[in-house]
Amino acid sequence: MDFLTLIQVLDSTVRMATPLLLACLAGLFSERAGIFDIGLEGKMLMAAFFSAAVAAVTGNVWLGLLAGIGASMLLSGLHGLASITFRGNQLISGVALNFLASGLTVLIAESWFRQGGRTPSLLTEGRFNGIELPFAIGPSEAEAAGRPLSELIGEANVIQQIWSELISGHSILVYVAALMVPLTWWVLFRTRFGLRLRAVGENPAAVDTAGVSVRGLRFAAIGIAGVLCGIAGAYLATGLQAGFVKEMTSGRGYIALAALIFAKWRPWHALGACLLFGLLQAVALRFQSIQLGGVSIPVQVMDALPYVLTVVILAGFVGKAIPPRAGGQPYVKER
């Protein structure tokens, strides 16, 4: 494997990691506030569909993004209604939302577009396209030189290769996702809202008796989760790919959940975990099998590795993952 291939795999890692990271941070807000969220998958799927559908119809990707966020927020609201207002089982609510999204997206797609549960393919203006950073070699340079972009990058020096292939050329949502990491950290640990949010996930009674609404905080948290899942879904359908296809999240919500546990509910670690899992996906995408010291590792190992790693972490063999203490329990005032 030469250096350029490596850079290309890493570039693909960044793309694959972006939806994971956004969903993972969504889960982080939700679970830090004490609401388990296994509905990440469903929210992303719903957002992916509505962003692609609206972008396809209006030709405006920003409207698509808004629609995606709105759809995801709607599911968040339902999750809140079930698990906060009516104190239902958060896990069951999450499962229900995943099915709801899985069924509704195809149902509506069929009704609107009649293309076998997909949206029409998005043209350039319906997508989030790559942003070329200054000094990077991009499509415009390729056009000017009249040669393929890959050739130009292949000839460039190492730093230029890293800059042009790995750092530059991603859609705006990738950079947004990257910025979300420090922002999440700052909100959680440097603001009043963050303090209260973390408190409500550890001991909601403490927050309640301090005169702060547990319900309000938890709804705010899952609202943020809705926004982030919305962006993640929109990125899938309008950034990573050009349109919605049935079940296009293909388990990313669960991988994000795995990454969240892997990261032990911490923002910077979430970045690391998502990059790792993104790398596994990128490798699986590029190579059918990997030769490692004479042993051929089947591609299915790459598919399964994020889950296996998470189980190992959960088992506490590599440091114990302690979730927020009040996670999963509806808050009932004590008599």
Partner 1 sequence: MEKMPKWADVVLIPVISLLLAAVISAIVILLIGENPMEALNLMVNGALGSTYGWGYTLYYATNFLFTGLAVAVAAHAGLFNIGGEGQAMIGGLGLALVCLYIPFPHWSIALLVAAVGAGIFGAAWAAIPAYLQAKRGSHIVITTIMFNFIAAAVLNYMLVSVLKPKGAMDPATAKFPESTQLPSLHEILAPIGIEFSKSAPANVTLFVGIAACIVVWGLIWHTPLGHEIRALGKSERGAVYAGISPVRTVMITMLISGALCGLMATNNVMGEAERLVLNATEGAGFIGIAVALMGRNHPFGVFLAAILFGFLYQGGAELALWTNIPSELIVVIQALVILFTGALDNMVRMPIEKIFLAFRKENA
Partner 2 sequence: MTAPAIELKGISKAFGPVQANKDISISVQPGTIHGIIGENGAGKSTLMSILYGFYKADKGEIWIKGTKTEIPDSQAAIAAGIGMVFQHFKLVENFTVLENIVLGAEDSGLLMPSLSRARKELKELEEEYELYVDPDKRIDEIGVGMQQRVEILKALYRKAEILILDEPTGVLTPAEADQLFRILDRLRSEGKTIILITHKLREIMEYTDTVSVMRRGQMTATVKTAESSPEQLAELMVGRKVLLRVDKVPATPGKPILEIEKLSVVDSAGVQRVKDIDLTVRAGEILGIAGVAGNGQSELLEVLGGMRDGTGSIRINGQPLPLSGKGSDARARRHAGIAHVPEDRQREGLIMDFHAWENVAFGYHREDIYKKGLFLDNAALRADTEAKMEKFDVRPPNPWLAAKSFSGGNQQKIVVAREIERNPDLLLIGQPTRGVDIGAIEFIHQQIMELRDQGKAILLVSVELEEILSLSDRVAVMFDGKIMGERPADQTDEKELGLLMAGVAGEAA
What residues line the site for partner 2 (CB under 8 A)? 189-196, 198-199, 202-203, 205-213, 325, 333-335
Contact partner, 104, from partner 1, partner 2, none, Cβ < 5-8 Å per class: partner 1
Q: Which is nearer to partner 2, 150 or 209 (CB)?
A: 209
Q: Which is nearer to partner 2, 62 or 193 (CB)?
A: 193
Distance CA 291, CA 234 (A): 35
The whole-angstrom distance between residue 1's C-alpha and the CA centroid of its chain comes to 29
Contact partner, 334, from partner 1, partner 2, none, Cβ < 5-8 Å per class: partner 2
Q: Which is nearer to partner 1, 190 or 320 (CB)?
A: 320
The three-class DSSP label of residue 130 is strand
Distance CA 57, CA 63 (A): 10
Output b/e per residue, 209-247; b: 16+ Cβ within 10 A.
eeeeebeebbbbbbbbbbbbbbbbbbbbbbbbbbbbbee
**C-alpha dist (Å) from residue 217 to 54, 139, 171, 192:** 31, 46, 32, 11
Other Cβ atoms less than 10 A from the Cβ of 203: the count is: 15
Please count the residues of the chain. 335
Distance CA 285, CA 248 (A): 15
Q: Which is nearer to partner 1, 45 or 136 (CB)?
A: 45
Contact partner, 110, from partner 1, partner 2, none, Cβ < 5-8 Å per class: partner 1
Tell me the one-letter amino acid at 251. Answer: G
Shortest reach from residue 32's CB to partner 2, in Å: 12
Shortest reach from residue 153's CB to partner 2, in Å: 44
Contact partner, 149, from partner 1, partner 2, none, Cβ < 5-8 Å per class: none
Shortest reach from residue 334's CB to partner 2, in Å: 7
Contact partner, 300, from partner 1, partner 2, none, Cβ < 5-8 Å per class: partner 1
Q: Which is nearer to partner 1, 23 or 177 (CB)?
A: 23
> Which residues bind to partner 1, rule: CB under 8 A?
38, 78, 81-83, 86-93, 95-100, 102-104, 106-108, 110-111, 114, 117, 251, 254, 257-258, 261, 298, 300-301, 303-304, 307-308, 310-311, 314-316, 323
Shortest reach from residue 198's CB to partner 2, in Å: 8
Contact partner, 33, from partner 1, partner 2, none, Cβ < 5-8 Å per class: none
Contact partner, 100, from partner 2, partner 1, none, Cβ < 5-8 Å per class: partner 1
Distance CA 63, CA 51 (A): 8
**C-alpha dist (Å) from residue 56 to 36, 113, 121:** 33, 10, 8
Shortest reach from residue 213's CB to partner 1, in Å: 19
Distance CA 61, CA 65 (A): 6
